[in-house]
Structures are given as structure tokens and as C-alpha cells.
């Protein structure tokens, strides 16, 4: 055999014993050996899953991210002679129905027939709900005669009635008519918004506080009456004290009302007269305008500014317009508060249960049954937990608490109805199997030698568990907590029964003792999505909000999980290292 | 052949060849007619073995002969195993270890133990060493620090870890972990030190240090050590017990057992002809 210098490998193989040489050749030649069908199937399944999830996330992100970007306004003259103006929202192709086709002019019918009976159409957000009774309008290509992008069209986001699209005719500054000037209007609008915030502050903050205290005084009287009897001297003393305080509060209340009236009257003197594309006009206080901009005259920097300010409003303010506009701060707050509260409940409960089950209970048939039951609990539909939470926590437990501690408020329930406490307890119940299973596994994974080491030092069983077993199992327990948190934060169905509301009157945390009001109902991002997307007057108007809120909910869950994972990894680093 | 007795004759098994010198301070642990079953299979047969106080007693024998089992009976580590059954007694000066009403925790506090594989806890080096004191309720910082340094010095680990006492013990090398476990075993100043092949994870230098340590500790502690290393057994021990298939075959003074064993089985094992 002649070895050429170009084929050293072959030469080496040839010199090796015959069998190994043959095996080497077959390995490189046989394709089926590298493309095992099972491997392809596994890889394919994984790729399929990844693509699904990536596509889902991509769709949510894309829709969520573009929502707040300002769009241009188009003025469209229709074949019927009508003129509309609005933001083109989306477009699509559809099959024109026979009855519609019959009504079209010859030219239009020819256009449709040229496309095999199909036509393109665009959805315009014409806004001006107060004038049109609708926010959106489909315009087919064949009806469209002329499209322009006029520079004097503005988009207004109003405190009420949603968006307005139109021109600005003139202003009224301090009661005197003034010609429209963009800079002037911007300045006056931001001043007006400050007045608006002031009014809000008085209505919600100051008057709210007075009302709260009035309520407290009335409750104090009822309480004294309930405890000591109607005519007892104690009740009379309390009533007298409370009455004088109530008189005081009423005076404050009247003062605040007076002040409100003043500001409102002042506010009335600043107005803008707006004209929609068809010529009808609307008078609007400047303080009612949240944001306005000339949609077709924006530079890139302006657009970015509007985009960011919309995001900021979304994250930092309360919803308006039946939740389809404004922000979701209360929902963010409710979601986070409820999830954290749930973790506070589920962590000790799950860990203690698992500890007993794994470390103390005699392993036998009974523990097996308990274990199987716990695992099965994870498969119970979550709405069942909601029903249980309402029936047991809210009505039974909460009703009991009310009867014992808040008799003066009855028949109005305090704890006897849905609230953030009952919601988080319900979710804790829902997620406890996850924690138990994860904790048991983590405990079982602690090496026996470590326990023996501790026992040999003269530690009791509890000391061993406390000092050696639990720290070692902590990262595994944290994994269980993370799974539970992810499940709990994304759960909506049971919450609808135990305390989530469309619009919460107050956050569960405020400045009044005891600061954390666990009995209050709350808002939740998941429910917000459901409400805006499927329960609002105009689902098309809510759609962008659905995407942004979904994006936010995902981001929030990712952020909470990332936090938990960070903590877990720090624990892991602390409690483990290279073994040898 | 020296046959001076340290334990009453009647507690000696007929199967065992004894040659024990008179103990300097008597018997620390007297194992009498001890049998042990794991479920149905018997692992120890009729062990009669007086462990002399202040001396180093080595247990040798082929793998699976029951050395660890016997060692773990001395501080009742075997209690954790379900289906374990024993017969016979192990007497300290005051009581039977397996007698009724024995406080197992108090018993273990009097005995340090070093396992075959290092098993440091997931905590700092310092906390590992003072663990026996902590579980005993000692919280005085000065005492803990002093104990930690003394134990680590004794285990020949102090110089390597003195600057990183706050670091996790799991970051140490295998050999360092084993010396840490030895430090932990002697931290609470126990009366008896049980060691199950403490050097199997160590290099020759560390092994030499541990043997030095055993030398230093002997006289003060009663040490029972399991080893597979005949040289080590010869070097460190005063008495040696040779076990085979769950029985104690030959027991007594190391020099005699190694130089002049009664039974051929023993000499075969020692010289490496079987096992
Ligand atoms: N937990 C247990 N359950 C059942 N049988 C066991 C258990 N531990 C040990 N055994 C059995 O008891 C016998 C003695 O085991 P032991 O661990 O004491 O041997 P050893 O002499 O220490 O061996 P080595 O030198 O390999 O460590 C072996 O046959 C073993 O299979
Ligand atoms: Mg062993």
C-alpha cells in the first residue's frame, strides 16, 4: 500500500488493525448514524415548542410596543360625498357581499370584479365617540375618492369620551376669546392640567380623608351603642364627643367644597372650540385635554416624546374611559401586592407541610395517600378554588371576623366579601401543591451523609433540619416558590370570585391606619385584560390596551421571577461549591 | 505471647483470638455478645471487644466485613436505619449504650465522628467547626473562636483556612473538607473519637498530618479507627481488631497481631495474600 502525503489519515487507518479501520470508515460514511430518527423527532418537537412560544411573545411584544406610537391622521373623501378623518389602524381584504355589490355603481363594481369579488378596506379610528356614536369606521377602497394628510388636524386625548380628531377653531383664555396658537394652547393646557390635578387631589385626597374620618366617628358612635346600649352614659359621652368632631369635619368639608367650586369656576374660563371634519363643533375645557398633538406635523423627536409620555401615563396613572384609556397603576399594584402576599402565605405553609411529610411522618400508606392527594390538588380547576375561597374564606371566615370585630359596620361587610387577603389566600391554596412537591424533592436530595454528620455532632433532629437540611434544600425550595409565583401571578379565574374588581375605589395601601387594608378589593392586570378586551363597550378601542397590558403582565411576571431566581442563585452560590 | 486480661474472661468469644495487654486506664467501651441484623441478614456475629481507654484501636478487614457497621453502633448512628435489630450490649463505664432510657443525643455529644466521605455542612468553615458547640447552646464568641482555632490547628488545616473562615466549607478541596470534618469531630472535646477511613480521600502529606494528630490525641481521647491501610494501622494503633464476614477474628495488641498473629487468616490478610 502506498501512502501519499496528502492522505495521512487514510494511511494511519490502514496501518491500524483491520477491524478498527473499518469501523472508523463506517462512522464517517454512514449518514443514518448521525441522523437518527429519534433525535430528529426530539429536536423537531423542541423546535416546534420554541417557535410557538417565540412567535407568541413576538406577536405580543410587537403589538404592545407599537400601540403608543403616534399615527398620522388621514382625511378621506368618500364616494358618497361624506368626509371622514382618522388614524388608519389596520387594513385587510374581504369578500364583498352580493347585496352590497348590487348597490354599487358600475365603476365600483368593475373594481371589485377585477379583484375576483374581493376588496381591500382600511379601518379608520375616527374617534369623536360623543358625536358619531362609534370610534371606528371601515372604508373600502372603492368608496375612497381622495385621501389627504392635512396639517391642521389634531388628535386630542380627552379625560372623558375618548379621543377627538379635528381642527381647533379658537380658544377662550380667562374668559376672553383668543385666536388659536399652538404654543399658547400648550402652555394653557399644561396649566389647566395642574388645576385638574388640584381638583382631583381635593376630591380624592382631602375630601376622601374627611369622609373617612366622618365614617370613623359614626362607627365609633354605633360601636359604643352596640356595646353599652342606646341610653347608657358611656354611649352618650362617646356620641357627644363624636358629634362635636363631626361638626368640625363638616365645616372642613364645606370649606373644601367652596374651594373646589372656585377652582372649577376658574377652570371653566379656559376652553377650546374644536371642529370635527364634518363641521360640527365641540367646546372643551383645556383641563379635560390629557394630550394633544398635530398628528401630521410631528418630527421624530416629537413622536418619541409622545410615545414615552404615553408609556409613562400608562404605568403611572389610573385608568379612565372604562379602562380603555389611561394607565394601569392600580392593577400593577394589585397584582404585585397580591402575588407577594400569596408568597408570604404559601411559603411557610408549603414548607412546613413538606417538612412534616418528609422528615417526621412515618412513611407508609397514609403518607402516600396524603402525597397523592396533594399532587391531585394541583389538577383541580382554578375556578373551584375561587368558589371555595369565596365560600370559606370570604363568607365563613370573613363573616365570622365581621361579626366579632366589626359589628358596627354590619350589614356592610368588611372582611365578609372578596378582598386582597382572601384572594392571596385562595391563590396560596392553589399553588401550595407546587411548593410541597418541590420542597419534598429538595429535602430528599439533601445527602444522608450531611444529616448523619450533624446527628453525630450531637444535634437533635430539629437542629439538624434547621441548620443543615433546610439551608441545603433552600435553592430547591426557592425553585418551587418561583413556579408557584409564576402560576399565581398569571391566575385570573378564581380571583374574579374573591376580590378582583373592574375599578377599585382605593388601593389596598394608603395613609390611614393600619395602612395595609387587606380587606379591600383590588385590580389585577390579568382581569384588566379580560375586562378591557371582552367587557368594554367597544372592543376595538380596547384592543391596543389588551396588548400593552398583556405585555406588561408578562414583563411583570418575568421581573418577579428574575428577582426570585437571582435570590435563589445567590443562595446556591452561598451553599454549594465544587465538591472535590 | 502476652495474654494479660483487660476484660473478664467470660465476655470473650470463643471464636476470637485475644492478646490484650493490661489497659493503662481500663475499658472505655466494652462490646459484649454483640449481634446485628439488617432486616433478615446478619451483619455482625457475637462481637466481644473491650476498647481500651486512651488507646487507639484500629479495625481492619476486607471490604463488607462489618467494620463501619460496628463503628456506627458505638454512637448509635445506625438508629436511622429502618429494620435494624441488635442483640448484646455495648457498655461504657456507666451504662449500656443500647440500654433503655439512654439519651442518644447526650451519648453522641461525648463521641466525635469522622466519616468515610467528607460531609461538611453548607455553611462557613467557622460555623462547620463550631457546630457541635452551637448545637450544645454555646454562643460565646470568644469560646467559639478559640475552639475553632484549636480544632483547626489540631486537624492541620489552620494555616490553609485561617484567612477564609467566613467562606463556604463546600469550596474546600476534598482533603481539606476531610480535615475540616476531623476538626469538627474534635471541636467539642469528646471522650471517644470514631473515625471511618478518615484518610481515604487524603494525599500522603495530609495523611501523615492526620496520623500525627491521632498520635497526639491518643492518651487524651479513646480513638477507634477503621482503615484499609495496614501500614497505617501498624503506625497509629495500640490495639487492632481483624474482622472477617461479620466476626471479630483476632483482637489485641498491634505489635503482636502484626508480628505474631495467632491465626493464618490474619497473617494472610495483613501480608496481602487475600482480602
Ligand atoms: N444500611 C444497610 N442495610 C443493609 N445492609 C447493610 C447496610 N449497611 C451495610 N450493610 C451490609 O452490612 C455488611 C457490612 O457493611 P459495612 O459497611 O459495615 O462494611 P465495611 O467493613 O465498612 O466495608 P468497607 O471497608 O467497604 O467500608 C455488608 O455486607 C453490607 O452489605
Ligand atoms: Mg466502611
Residue B162 contacts A, CB cutoff 8 Å: no
Q: How far out from the chain centre does Cα B49 lie?
A: 14
A14 versus A139: the higher-pLDDT residue is A139
Confidence band of A3 (pLDDT split at 50, 70, 90): very low
Res A31 pLDDT > 80: no
**B175 Cβ below 6 A of ligand 1:** no
Q: Give the residue from A166, A84, A87 showing the smallest Cα distance to A124.
A: A87
What tens digit of pLDDT does each residue of A508-525 get? 777 666 777 777 778 888
For residue A571, the chain B residue with the least C-alpha distance is B122
Residue B69 CA: nearest ligand 1 atom is 18
ipTM of the complex: 0.88
Per-residue buried b or exposed e for B198-211, using 16+ beta carbons within 10 Å of the residue's own CB: bbbbbeeebbebbb
What tens digit of pLDDT does each residue of A371-402 get? 899 888 888 888 999 999 888 888 888 878 87
What tens digit of pLDDT does each residue of B6-56 get? 444 445 666 677 777 655 568 888 898 899 999 899 999 999 888 988 889
Q: Which three cell numbers stand for residue A367?
A: 403518607
Check residue A436 and give its pLDDT: 93
Q: Do B131 and A472 touch (CB under 8 A)?
A: no
Contacts of B113 in chain A (CB under 8 A): 453, 456
Q: Decide: A567 and A470 in contact? Cβ < 8 Å.
A: no
Give the start-to-end residue ranges of the domains of chain A. 74-158, 169-306, 335-522
Res A8 pLDDT > 60: no
What tens digit of pLDDT does each residue of A266-296 get? 888 888 899 988 888 889 888 889 889 998 8
Out of A68-77, A395-404, B121-130, B236-245, least confident range: A395-404
Candidates B135, B167, B174, B195, partner chain A, best to mutate (most A CBs within 10 A): B135
What distance in Å separates the CA atoms of residue A84 and residue A74, rounded to the nearest whole number?
Answer: 8
Candidates B107, B109, B115, B121, partner chain A, best to mutate (most A CBs within 10 A): B121
Check residue B11 and give its pLDDT: 58
Share of chain A above pLDDT 70, in %: 90
- For domain A74-158, the CATH class is mainly beta
Res A176 pLDDT > 60: yes
Contacts of A449 in chain B (CB under 8 A): 115, 117, 119
Residue A450 contacts B, CB cutoff 8 Å: yes
Pairing of strands A176-179, B17-19: unpaired
For residue A359, the chain B residue with the least C-alpha distance is B80
Query: Could you say which ligand is closest to the alpha carbon of residue B115?
Result: 2
Residue B3 contacts A, CB cutoff 8 Å: no
Check residue B36 and give its pLDDT: 93
What distance in Å separates the CA atoms of residue A357 and residue A364, rounded to the nearest whole number?
Answer: 11
What tens digit of pLDDT does each residue of A130-152 get? 888 888 889 988 888 888 999 88
Q: Decide: B3 and B260 in contact? Cβ < 8 Å.
A: no
Check residue A419 and give its pLDDT: 83
Share of chain B above pLDDT 90, in %: 26
Res B129 pLDDT > 90: yes
Res B57 pLDDT > 90: yes
Region A325-332: what's the mean pLDDT? 84
Res B3 pLDDT > 60: no
Ligand 1: which of B64, B71, B198 to mutate, judged by most atoms within 8 Å of the beta carbon? B64
- Considering the segment(s) A335-522 as one domain, its CATH architecture is Orthogonal Bundle (1.10)
**B69 Cβ below 6 A of ligand 1:** yes
Quick one: A487 exposed, middle or buried, by C-beta within 10 A (0-12, 13-18, 19+)?
middle
Region B120-142: what's the mean pLDDT? 90
- Which of A30-44, A199-213, A295-309, B190-204 holds the top average pLDDT? A295-309
What is the pTM (predicted TM-score) of this model?
A: 0.77
Q: Do B135 and A467 touch (CB under 8 A)?
A: yes
Give the angle A398-A401-A403 at the CA atoms, nearest 5°.
110
Confidence band of B5 (pLDDT split at 50, 70, 90): very low
How high does pLDDT run on average in chain B?
85
Of B105, B106, B115, the CB nearest to A453: B115
Check residue A107 and give its pLDDT: 83
Region A224-235: what's the mean pLDDT? 79
Res A580 pLDDT > 50: no
Amino acid at each position: 500500500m502506498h501512502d501519499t502525503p496528502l492522505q495521512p489519515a487514510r494511511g494511519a487507518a490502514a496501518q491500524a488493525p483491520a477491524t478498527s479501520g473499518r469501523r472508523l470508515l463506517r462512522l464517517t460514511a454512514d449518514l443514518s448514524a448521525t441522523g437518527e430518527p429519534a433525535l430528529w423527532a426530539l429536536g423537531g418537537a423542541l423546535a416546534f415548542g420554541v417557535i410557538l412560544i417565540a412567535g407568541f411573545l413576538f406577536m405580543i411584544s410587537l403589538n404592545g410596543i407599537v400601540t403608543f406610537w403616534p399615527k398620522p391622521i388621514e382625511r378621506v373623501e368618500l364616494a358618497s360625498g361624506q368626509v371622514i378623518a382618522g388614524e388608519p389602524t389596520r387594513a385587510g381584504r374581504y369578500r364583498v357581499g352580493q347585496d352590497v355589490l348590487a348597490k354599487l355603481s358600475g365603476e365600483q363594481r368593475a373594481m371589485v370584479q377585477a379583484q375576483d369579488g374581493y376588496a381591500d378596506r382600511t379601518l379608520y379610528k375616527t374617534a369623536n365617540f360623543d358625536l358619531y356614536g362609534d370610534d371606528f369606521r371601515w372604508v373600502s377602497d372603492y368608496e375612497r375618492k381622495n385621501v389627504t394628510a392635512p396639517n391642521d388636524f389634531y388628535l386630542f386625548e380627552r379625560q372623558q369620551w375618548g379621543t377627538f380628531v379635528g381642527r381647533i377653531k379658537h380658544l377662550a383664555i380667562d374668559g376672553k376669546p383668543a385666536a388659536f396658537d399652538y404654543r399658547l394652547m400648550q402652555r394653557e393646557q399644561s396649566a389647566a392640567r395642574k388645576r385638574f390635578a388640584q381638583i382631583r387631589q381635593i376630591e380624592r385626597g382631602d375630601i376622601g380623608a374627611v369622609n373617612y374620618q366622618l365614617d370613623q366617628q359614626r362607627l365609633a358612635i354605633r360601636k359604643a351603642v352596640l356595646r353599652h346600649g342606646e341610653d347608657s352614659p358611656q354611649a352618650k359621652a362617646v356620641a357627644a364627643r363624636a358629634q362635636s368632631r363631626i361638626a368640625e369635619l363638616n365645616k372642613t368639608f364645606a370649606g373644601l367644597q367652596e374651594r373646589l367650586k372656585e377652582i372649577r369656576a376658574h377652570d371653566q374660563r379656559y376652553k377650546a372650540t374644536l371642529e370635527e371634519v364634518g363641521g360640527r363643533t365641540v367646546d372643551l375645557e383645556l383641563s379635560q385635554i390629557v394630550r394633544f398633538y398635530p398628528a401630521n406635523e410631528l418630527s421624530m423627536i416629537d413622536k418619541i416624546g409622545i410615545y414615552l409620555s404615553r408609556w409613562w401615563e400608562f404605568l403611572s396613572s389610573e385608568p379612565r374611559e372604562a379602562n380603555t384609556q389611561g394607565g394601569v397603576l392600580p392593577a400593577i399594584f394589585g397584582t404585585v401586592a397580591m402575588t407577594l402576599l400569596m408568597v408570604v402565605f404559601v411559603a411557610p405553609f408549603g414548607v412546613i407541610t413538606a417538612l412534616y411529610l418528609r422528615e417526621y411522618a412515618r412513611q407508609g400508606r397514609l403518607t402516600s395517600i396524603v402525597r397523592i392527594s396533594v399532587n391531585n390538588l394541583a389538577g383541580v380547576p382554578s375556578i373551584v378554588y375561587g368558589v371555595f375561597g369565596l365560600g370559606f374564606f370570604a363568607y365563613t371566615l370573613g363573616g365570622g371576623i365581621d361579626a366579632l370585630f366589626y359589628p358596627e359596620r354590619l350589614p356592610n361587610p368588611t372582611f365578609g366579601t372578596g378582598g386582597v387577603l382572601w384572594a392571596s389566600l385562595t391563590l396560596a391554596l392553589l399553588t401550595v401543591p407546587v411548593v410541597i412537591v418541590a420542597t419534598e424533592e429538595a429535602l430528599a436530595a439533601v445527602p444522608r451523609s450531611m444529616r448523619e454528620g450533624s446527628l453525630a455532632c450531637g444535634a437533635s433532629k430539629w437542629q439538624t433540619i434547621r441548620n443543615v437540611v433546610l439551608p441545603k434544600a433552600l435553592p430547591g425550595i426557592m425553585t418551587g416558590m418561583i413556579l408557584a409565583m409564576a402560576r399565581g401571578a398569571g391566575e385570573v379565574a378564581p380571583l374574579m370570585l374573591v376580590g378582583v374588581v373592574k375599578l377599585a375605589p382605593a388601593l389596598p395601601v394608603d395613609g390611614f391606619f393600619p395602612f395595609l387594608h387587606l380587606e379591600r378589593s383590588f385590580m389585577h392586570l390579568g382581569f384588566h385584560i379580560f375586562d378591557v378586551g371582552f367587557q368594554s363597550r367597544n372592543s376595538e378601542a380596547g384592543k391596543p390596551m389588551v396588548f400593552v397590558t398583556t405585555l406588561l403582565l408578562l414583563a411583570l411576571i418575568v421581573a418577579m421571577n428574575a428577582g426570585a431566581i437571582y435570590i435563589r442563585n445567590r443562595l446556591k452560590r452561598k451553599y454549594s461549591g465544587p465538591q472535590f | 505471647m502476652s495474654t494479660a486480661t483487660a476484660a473478664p474472661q467470660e465476655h470473650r468469644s470463643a471464636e476470637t483470638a485475644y492478646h490484650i495487654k493490661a489497659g493503662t486506664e481500663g475499658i472505655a467501651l466494652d462490646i459484649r455478645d454483640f449481634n446485628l441484623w439488617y432486616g433478615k441478614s446478619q451483619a455482625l456475629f457475637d462481637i466481644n471487644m473491650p476498647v481500651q481507654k486512651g488507646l487507639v484501636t484500629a479495625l481492619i478487614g476486607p471490604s463488607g466485613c462489618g467494620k463501619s457497621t460496628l463503628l456506627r453502633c458505638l454512637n448509635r448512628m445506625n438508629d436511622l436505619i429502618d429494620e435494624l435489630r441488635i442483640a448484646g450490649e455495648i457498655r461504657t463505664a456507666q451504662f449500656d449504650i443500647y440500654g433503655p432510657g439512654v439519651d442518644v443525643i447526650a451519648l453522641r455529644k461525648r463521641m466525635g465522628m469522622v466519616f468515610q466521605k467528607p460531609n461538611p455542612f453548607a455553611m462557613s468553615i467557622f460555623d462547620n467547626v463550631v457546630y457541635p458547640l452551637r448545637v450544645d447552646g454555646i454562643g460565646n464568641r470568644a469560646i467559639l473562636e478559640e475552639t475553632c482555632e484549636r480544632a483547626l490547628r489540631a486537624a492541620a488545616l489552620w494555616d490553609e483556612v485561617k484567612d477564609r473562615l467566613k467562606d463556604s466549607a463546600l469550596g474546600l478541596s476534598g482533603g481539606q473538607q476531610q480535615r475540616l470534618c476531623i476538626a469538627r469531630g474534635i471541636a467539642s472535646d469528646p471522650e471517644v473519637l470514631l473515625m471511618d477511613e478518615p484518610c481515604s480521600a487524603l494525599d500522603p502529606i495530609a495523611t501523615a498530618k492526620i496520623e500525627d494528630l491521632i498520635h497526639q490525641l491518643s492518651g487524651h481521647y479513646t480513638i477507634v479507627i477503621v482503615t484499609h491501610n495496614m501500614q497505617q494501622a501498624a503506625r497509629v494503633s495500640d490495639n487492632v481488631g481483624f474482622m472477617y464476614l461479620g466476626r471479630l477474628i483476632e483482637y489485641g495488641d498491634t505489635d503482636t497481631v502484626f508480628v505474631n498473629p495467632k491465626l493464618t487468616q490474619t497473617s494472610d490478610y495483613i501480608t496481602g495474600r487475600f482480602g
